[in-house]
Structure 1
Amino acid sequence: MWGTIATWRMAHDGVLKASDLLQKNGHATDAVEALINVVEAYPYYKSVGYGGLPNEEGVVEMDAAFMDGDTLAQGAVGGIHSVMHAVSVARALSHEHYNSFRVGEGATKFATLHGFEMTNMLTDRAKARWEKRLAEQRAQPDNPYDGHDTVGAITLDTNASMAAATSTSGLFMKKAGRVGDSPLSGSGFYVDSEIGGAAATGLGEDIMKGCLSYEIVRRMGEGQSPQEACDEAVYPFIEKLKRRYGKAGEFSLVAMNNQGEWGVATNVEFTFSVATAEASPRILIAHPGPDHTTTIEPITQAWLDAYEKRIKAPIN
């Protein structure tokens, strides 16, 4: 038995990589890192790693986290600069009992001193998008934020070990030093090999108000299926947030238990990739359904073709 699930279409090539490792009895920790690394290295994904969109000052600041479901060890980075694979730095930090969550210059210095691949993460394409947005903001100062899609993943290996990881460049045009939910334990991610794991993507400032990844794992631990746990954790909280805070941003969460069963909940159109020992890797699309449920369908070729065209379109 093995399985993996990850957020967004952009994770699919990583899911293929992780699936190959897991089928060959690879460890969940290696598989989840490899999955995220694939996404971090692809320059056309504008919200993760190389090619990620910068903050308002033109600096690509990345957040990432890693968690071992066997030991509960965690490592995380916030606002790290100039490192190709932020999640790998987070994994290295998970081996530290102290100082396992590093931010800004401290995180970047750790990566430099420990031999991680360092590079200029601002691609010409991302710089062009930033310059275009600067011009738009001068013309319309209240232009809203966009581009906050985190890659979050859960893996289960044939020895019943589990792992979770996240990586993101965060909100496009965010303030320098802003950190969202992605590196925060219980909000952006959580995994326990005795139960299962969950990971989030969306507007971090609102997701972190609910600690939803931990809540989903807690519910699975009480006997709910991953889908039940996702539906019953996410949708009532969105309603609560609208009622008490006045609004709620985008929320999408994925989960998998230690039996390879999985679930998803979202308040937007949300694609994800999933693979198990029983089902080959595939991309699915989810929408919020009636009465706190989630509608999940296969992705269409037309959608995939439009996606590829959109992410590679020239910057005018």
Structure 2
Amino acid sequence: MKRRKFLKNSSTLTAGMITAPLIASSGSPLKEFRTMNNASKSNIPIAICTWDFGNATAKAWEVLNSGGNSLDAVHQGVMVEEDNLDNQTVGNGGRPDRDGNVTLDACIMDKDANCGAVLALQNIANPISVARKVMEETPHVMLVGKGAEQFAYEQGFERTNLLTEKSKQEWEEWKKTSQYKPIINIENHDTIGMLAIDKNGDIAGACTTSGMAYKMAGRVGDSPIIGAGLFVDNEVGGATATGVGEEVVRTVGSFLIVELMRQGKSPQEACEEGVKRIIAKNKDKQDFQIGFIAINKNGETGAYCIHPGFTYRTYTQEGHVNNPSGSYLES
């Protein structure tokens, strides 16, 4: 039995039992949801992603503009960068770990809170597609390492050598010193996170990465972790992150931002608070980058980072724009 049918059958009774008490106890936030949902939606449909990945948002917009849904938009959008051999932070051609192995992480989440993820996946060029298969074809949320790879082969994915000659040569050069010092806005802008709202007002998100360059074997950051690197609540909005994933995990950053929006903060205010929470836990250490983007149910967006240099792409009926993000530290 596929997971979706199983969960639907097993949750029908309990959903009916808990709905009334939750509504009764929620107070003003429900009123805020209704106000938000009834507000102008001139920004919808919309696609937004971390960094200046304009080809990715263009693909997502192509799906949205033709009437497609947000899940397909984010899936097809981030795949553009997974297939881009010039992008050494995502997918095929990504920089390897310190042992020379390219390991990929990805997750995806739809309007109904269904989600799937793969962690430390090797030899498969499109981890976001495997993550979607995990979501749709298994009773699980996450598959890891060799198990994820075997599942991918069972689903018809082909084995691919992900280590390009360029990344291999850079790794060989790195081994001469083996110093693990990721460069802000270069080696640790290691993620494409994408959010989209379709014509029906439904939100989905996707996040995919090859992780930190020359990481320890087996290292996984925030990108494939639901709630850390990506979170979507179709009643409220969505958020995704980029940068040093360990710090995002410590604050469950994307979930935090969505919950702040639930409490009434704008996407911009929520992103700023998300960064400030991380800064508060690193008072004597600011030599790393974190960037958040967020979107609410109305298609309003926000972004914030630690160091200047982070940008994010938006694509709406008003145009296709690379936006500079505000930052906690000044240049």
Match of 1:47 among 59, 69, 89: 89
Counterpart position of 1:119: 160
Match of 2:65 among 23, 28, 48: 23
Verify: 1:247 aligned to 2:285, yes or no.
yes
Counterpart position of 1:306: none
**Residues of 2 paired with 1:234 and 1:206: CA distance?**
10
8 Å contact 1:79–1:103 — kept in the other structure? yes
User: Any stretches of 5+ residues in structure 2 without a counterpart?
Assistant: 1-43
* Aligned CA distance change for structure 1 residues 210 and 289 (closer, same or farther; 3 Å): closer
Q: Render the CA deviation track for 1:48-102: whole Å, top value 9, x for unaligned.
A: 001100001110000000001x210110010001111100100111124623200
Q: Within 5 Å, give how 1:208-287 maps onto structure 2.
A: 208-235=249-276, 237-243=277-283, 246-248=284-286, 249-268=288-307, 269-277=309-317, 279-287=318-326
Runs of 4+ in 1 over 6 A off after TM superposition: none
**Residues of 1 paired with 2:55 and 2:157: CA distance?**
23
8 Å contact 1:260–1:276 — kept in the other structure? no
**Residues of 2 paired with 1:233 and 1:61: CA distance?**
28
**Residues of 2 paired with 1:252 and 1:166: CA distance?**
13
3-state SS in 2 of match to 1:256:
strand
Aligned residue identity for 1:238: I
3-state SS in 2 of match to 1:242:
coil
Match of 1:144 among 162, 181, 185: 181
8 Å contact 1:19–1:281 — kept in the other structure? no
**Residues of 2 paired with 1:116 and 1:76: CA distance?**
16
Counterpart position of 1:7: 50
3-state SS in 1 of match to 2:261:
helix
**Residues of 2 paired with 1:59 and 1:97: CA distance?**
27
**Residues of 2 paired with 1:215 and 1:44: CA distance?**
33
**Residues of 2 paired with 1:94 and 1:162: CA distance?**
16
Q: Within 5 Å, give how 1:69-84 maps onto structure 2.
A: 70-84=111-125
Counterpart position of 1:301: none
Aligned residue identity for 2:49: A
Counterpart position of 1:158: 199
**Residues of 2 paired with 1:276 and 1:233: CA distance?**
25
**Residues of 2 paired with 1:280 and 1:82: CA distance?**
37
Structure-2-length-normalised TM-score? 0.82
8 Å contact 1:80–1:108 — kept in the other structure? yes
**Residues of 2 paired with 1:29 and 1:242: CA distance?**
35
Identical columns (%)? 36
Q: How many residue pairs get matched?
A: 282
Say which is worse superposed, 169-178 or 218-227, in terms of deviation.
218-227
Root-mean-square deviation (CA, aligned residues, Å) is: 1.7
8 Å contact 2:305–2:328 — kept in the other structure? no
Counterpart position of 1:170: 211
1:46 CA drift (Å): 0.8
Structure-1-length-normalised TM-score? 0.85
8 Å contact 1:64–1:165 — kept in the other structure? yes
